[in-house]
Amino acid sequence: MSLAITFIFCVILARLLYVQVAWGAELKLKAVDQWNREIPVIAARGRILDRNGKVIAGNINTYSVFLRPSAVDNVDRTTEIIGELFNVDRNYLSEKINAGKISEITVARQQNKETVEKLVKFNLPGVYYARDNMRNYAYGDALCQVIGFTASDGTGVSGIEKFYDGLLGGTNGEITYSTDIVGIQTEKSKIVYQEAVAGCDIKLTIDMDIQLAAENAMKSVYNSSSAKSVSCIVLDPQNFDVLAMVNYPSYNLNEVPRNDSELLNSLSRNGLVSNIYEPGSTFKVITAAANIQEHIDGNPNAFSNSYVFNGSRSRTVDGTKIKCWSDHSNGKHSNQTLADALNNSCNPCFSDIALALGGKTFYEYLYKFGFGNVTGLDFNGEALGMLVPSTAIRDCDLARIGFGQTVAVTGIQLACAVAAAVNGGNYYAPRLLKSVSSPNGGNVEENAVIFKNKAIGTKASEILAEMLEGVVKDGSGKHAYIDGYRVGGKTGTAQKYEDGRVAQGKYVSSFVGFFPANKPQYLALVIVDEPQGTYYGSAVAAPVAKEIFEDIILLKNIKRFV
């Protein structure tokens, strides 16, 4: 008998110790929750600005409405009023209140001041509100895939809103005061206010004037060419600041199609960062850069543009026939210099260069120009591109990579590579964030430009830029020519593949250009996916780049160079 009593006593003692020690913290929180009421104070989300201080994403003051079931004195009256004001199902709300399992119910978020003022007049016990914020995007659909959007609770879901959510989000505060057992504020309640800390403002490298000019140009070519999609990136070649980034079709950030996830995923994807494509002849810029550098290594004055390539229309490599787009009937493709080959965009010449360089050397240049790796852009979801492993490369693969086939790139990869090829050979990490400001604006922290490597030498870069200026003056890029301004560039027209085969009638038309050619300040890559009718990059994409450059000239009041 005494043994049984001792055993029962030990069980009770163990249970008491468990409740006090193991459950202690949890039970204390439950007690505090029963006798205290918290009203959240939502932190203002930081603004997103362009490089010149124009607000891209800001806030509109709104309100969230909450309900504490234990403090409601008249369920029918409360649900009727709330249901009418906030379009909430009365039966659903009644079930939540009567279930007694939830200490607090979020009735509605991001409500306007007028509606909340109507609610206050009813003085409903157990119902309270707190200020929150609703994101407002000043430019609607412009830059939408880059900026991204937020969830209903204000957290970033995509784009810059997600990538820099830790900076933008801030820290919520709360107002706490004691209540009785049913949640009614006591007469001598002590109110504790914990202030919310607003998020930081961030300034992007984007120039909204250039962005809007690029948006207009891309929408125009999208409509005129009936393309599947169009995209454009404008860089500062001297430090790889992203000045504009356009993907179209787009969507309005103030009217996000949240109910159609498939459509939203499609429209919100930043294709210039996340999609890969075969670049075609725009890639010849990189092959030419490697060729020039190899000829002048050790002697800056050794390069000569007088050497010539075999002028025949085709080459056969490992049983694969490589042809030029031209039939050479005009005689212009015979005995070509490198400048001629760029002007004429002759595929066999660039196959010759790639084969002459050899896999090891050519790949060393490709890696220096950022291919086979991400650029390091401060943005989620950047693709690697596609590069045949150097250990598995065949001569026929190498020959095709030389003129932009058997290789896939992202738009940001190609833009950065060409920028490095013409800016003196300097490869930087591209960036979207320029600086961060504290909530009160008192402390500004600059985001440093990151130099990654030297891709080619200064002399080689100058020679290449001059040749690409010739492409716009006299070659396939003449539709990008602007009288009085030194514009350089290269066109591209690539066939698309589906299920491993050439998709008939489907092309990617592109142009990458820069100005002034002797010291590039602006670089634009234009990509038109599946244009209908005319599909050559020279006819479809080059005029768009010209339009963007002409707008920049007007916006920045750039004087004629020659």
Contacts of 202 (CB under 8 A, 6+ apart): 46, 47, 48, 49, 160, 164, 167, 168, 433, 435, 436, 437
Alpha helices in 241-358 (DSSP H): 261-268, 271-274, 284-296, 338-344, 347-357
Other C-beta atoms closer than 10 Å to the C-beta of 111 total 19
> Which pair of tokens denotes residue 319?
């049983």
CA distance 250 to 259: 16
What does each C-alpha distance from 277 to 89, 364, 437 come to in angstroms?
A: 49, 22, 37
Across-strand partners of 507?
A: 495
- 3-state SS string over 269-291? CCHHHHCCECCHHHHHHHHHHHH
List the one residue out of 264, 243, 290 whose CA is nearest residue 145: 264
Residue 300 makes CB contacts below 8 A (sequence gap 6+) with 457, 459
Report the C-alpha gap between 510 and 414 in whole angstroms: 11
Q: Is 281 marked active-site?
A: yes
Specify whether the CB–CB gap between 267 and 158 falls below 8 A. Answer: no
How far apart, in whole angstroms, are the C-alpha atoms of residue 517 and residue 530?
A: 30
Q: List, as own/partner pairs, every contact residues 311-318 make where C-beta atoms lie below 8 angstroms and the sequence separation is at least 24, other chains included.
A: 311/335, 311/336, 312/348, 313/348, 314/348, 315/348, 315/351, 315/352, 315/399, 317/351, 317/355, 317/395, 317/396, 317/399, 318/394, 318/395, 318/396
Distance CA 146, CA 165 (A): 14
Would strands 48-49 and 201-204 be described as parallel, antiparallel, or unpaired? Answer: parallel
How far apart (Å, rounded) are the C-alpha atoms in residues 146 and 270?
7
Q: Looking at 281, 437, 461, 476, which residue is catalytic?
A: 281
Instruction: Measure the CA angle with vertex 175, ends 170 and 178; round to 5°.
Output: 150
Q: Which amino acid is at 207?
A: D
Helices (H) and strands (E) in the chain, counts: 20, 21
User: CA 446 to CA 435: how far, in whole Å?
Assistant: 4
8 Å CB contact between 158 and 268: yes
Could you give the CA distance from residue 276 to residue 283 in angstroms, rounded to a whole number? 14
Structure tokens at 49: 């600005």
* Residue positions annotated with a catalytic role: 281
